[in-house]
Amino acid sequence: MKLAEKMFRLGTETAFEVLARAKQLEAKGKDIVHLEIGEPDFITPRNIIDAGIKALNEGYTHYNPSAGLPEFREVIAKEVSKTRNIDVNPDQVVVTPGAKPIMFFCIMALANEGEEIIYPNPGFPIYESVINFIGAKAVPIQLREENDFRLDTDELKKLVTERTRMIIINSPQNPTGGILTRDDLKVIADIALSKDIFVLSDEIYSRIIYEGDHHSISSFPGMQERTIILDGMSKTYAMTGWRLGYGVMREDLAVRIAKLQTNSNSCTATFTQMAGIEALTGPQDEVAGMVEKFKERRDVIVEGLNHIPRISCKTPKGAFYVFPNVKEIGWEVRKLSDFLLNEAGVAILFGTSFGKYGEGYIRISYANSVENIKKGLSRIEKALQKIK
């Protein structure tokens, strides 16, 4: 088979590969603790499920506009206006099957071949993958542990060139749990404004935050027209499998992104959008409860990891991941993660799944019960004793 050249530039999300390998081991009878996949272990709140079922029964089973159901776009516009303190109208909203297509579509829509996009590394692997796939130049900005995994704004200034088309930020961040401060965002906004650059602001974890408030770069003067806010239901409402996300952007861009949707998915499933309306307008106490549970688990895992010799772990401020430093163990992290899966029956991700600057780190998702987290930690500790 002769594939198109760009297919060889496409990366992947290792989480799905590790999950598949873990499942194979389980099929052979091995007990595995799953700390690899980035999805809440909670069930979608009942009122949202009921709204989805009701919508199916009421016949919301047909195509709908590519940009999304008008009533859902309206609810999203209200929600984003309120939470980001900006003024969004429904025509600025594009609904997609999960938030991921917003990444794909916006990178494709805004960068020509050879133009540059700056993205966080370690960071969500799909940014780098898609940038490379479309033939743009992927320019990583390193997130360092000593800087609490925030990007260094002086370094960012140096990476910007005449060819920079977009800066991608993600706060709270996957895989580190790091958060950009308001001051960081201000500097990034100033750069974007002075150099006429778009910012793709991945805010999918904006409701899963443990200290302080979420700040969106879109709220700085002049930034709304240069920002694409990416968000969705997956993480906040434990709805990963429903595939429901959205982007908020200037209207003229939204029209183009909707056209990409027409050319690919046609539209997002109709009944899931009705469930999305319930998610955003219904009671929010379950969300608060989930965040409370994540926080409790975070504290258990950070403390537990810091008790294991040769591992040190910062306390993340948001999302549901820790990114512990395992450099003292002295193994390449890919080999270490294989070892932990096969020897200890603990599925985690190696840091380089998130880019080259992830060497020396592993990512553990604590979207699992305290009991399983404790079980995983004790297995890791025991297995590491075999590595001299």
Query: Where along the sequence are the contacts to ligand PLP (CB under 6 A)?
Result: 38, 98-100, 124, 170, 174, 202, 204, 232, 234, 240, 245
Give min distance, CB of 301 to ligand PLP, in A. 18
Of 66 and 234, CB closest to ligand PLP: 234
Give Dmax (Cα) for the chain.
63
CA dist 46 → 43, 51, 52, 279 (Å):
8, 9, 10, 10
CB 321 within 8 A of CB 363: yes
DSSP code string of 218-240: GGSTT-GGGEEEEEESTTTTT-G
Cβ at position 228, least distance to ligand PLP in Å: 12
User: Would you give the DSSP letter of residue 325?
Assistant: B
Residues ≥6 apart with Cβ < 8 Å to 242? 44, 52, 233, 234, 272, 275
Closer residue to ligand PLP, CB minimum distance, 148 or 381: 148
Residue nearer to ligand PLP on the CB measure, 270 or 304: 270
C-beta of 40 vs 304, nearer to ligand PLP = 40
Residue 42 Cβ vs ligand PLP, minimum distance, rounded to whole Å: 15
Interior angle at CA 40, CA 39 and CA 42, nearest 5: 145
Beta carbon nearer to ligand PLP, 270 or 308: 270
- Cβ distance to ligand PLP smaller for residue 201 or 329: 201
Residue closer to ligand PLP, measured from CB, 119 or 124: 124
- Taking the complex as a whole, the smallest distance from the CB of residue 13 to ligand PLP amounts, in Å, to 7
Taking the complex as a whole, the smallest distance from the CB of residue 243 to ligand PLP amounts, in Å, to 7
For residue 205, the minimal CB distance to ligand PLP (Å) is 7
- Per the listing, tokens 């999302």 go with 319
Q: Give dist(CA 166, CA 298) in Å, integer.
A: 32
Specify the residue, 88 or 103, whose C-beta has the smaller distance to ligand PLP.
103
CB 165 within 8 A of CB 115: yes
Q: Is 2 exposed, middle or buried (0-12, 13-18, 19+ CB in 10 A)?
A: exposed
First-to-final CA distance of the chain: 46
Closest separation between CB of residue 245 and ligand PLP, Å?
A: 4
C-beta closer to ligand PLP: residue 111 or 367 = 367
Residue 195 near residue 226 (C-beta atoms within 8 A): no
Query: How near is the Cβ of 239 to ligand PLP at its closest, in Å?
Result: 8
Task: Tell which residue, 281, 269, 271, has the closest CA to residue 58.
Answer: 271
Strands, sheet with 245-248, edge to edge from the N-terminal-most edge strand: 93-96, 245-248, 227-232, 198-202, 164-170, 116-121, 137-142
Give the β-pairing of 116-121 and 362-365: unpaired
Beta strands 362-365; 164-170: pairing state: unpaired
- Select the residue whose beta carbon is closest to ligand PLP and give its number: 98
Shortest spacing between CB 100 and ligand PLP, in angstroms: 3
Alpha-carbon torsion angle 354, 212, 154, 361, nearest 10: -30
Question: Which of residues 115 and 202 has its CB atom nearest to ligand PLP in the complex?
Answer: 202
Residue 386 Cβ vs ligand PLP, minimum distance, rounded to whole Å: 32
Provide the sign of the torsion angle of the four alpha carbons 201, 91, 132, 20, taken in this order.
Answer: positive
Could you give the angle at which helices 46-57 and 270-281 cross, rounded to 10 degrees?
Answer: 140
